[in-house]
Amino acid sequence: MKAIVTVTGKDRKGIIADVCRLLADNGINILDISQTVMQDFFTMIMLIDTEDCPLSFTELSDKLTEAGKNLGLEIRIQREDIFNAMHRV
């Protein structure tokens, strides 16, 4: 299954590395990534493939939320089909 991961928070060194490491450690492939920094605010959106992830979607979501809290970030995940439906004009 494909999903969208969003990451926001105060910019600092290593955010991309920390989040990508967490995803890789859980068998997740990053298909596309976009990130920007506006003043001191970091934002990143990733399209990921969870096919090889041993966790359920809920377990993965909880793990990302908890990791975000530990890293001082907000990390959210949404199924691609729901994301597309919400952003259709």
The secondary structure element, H or E, covering residue 6 is strand 2-10
Cα separation, 56 vs 85, whole angstroms: 22
Q: What is the mean pLDDT of the chain?
A: 93
Reply yes or no on whether the pLDDT at 73 is more than 70.
yes
The structural domains of the chain, with segments of one domain joined by +, span 2-86
Per residue in 30-46, pLDDT (tens digit) is 999 999 999 999 999 99
**Class of domain 2-86 as given by CATH:** alpha beta
What mean pLDDT is predicted for residues 5-27? 97
| Model pTM score | 0.88
Reply yes or no on whether the pLDDT at 68 is more than 80.
yes
DSSP string, 47-84: EEE-TT--S-HHHHHHHHHHHHHHHTEEEEEEEHHHHH
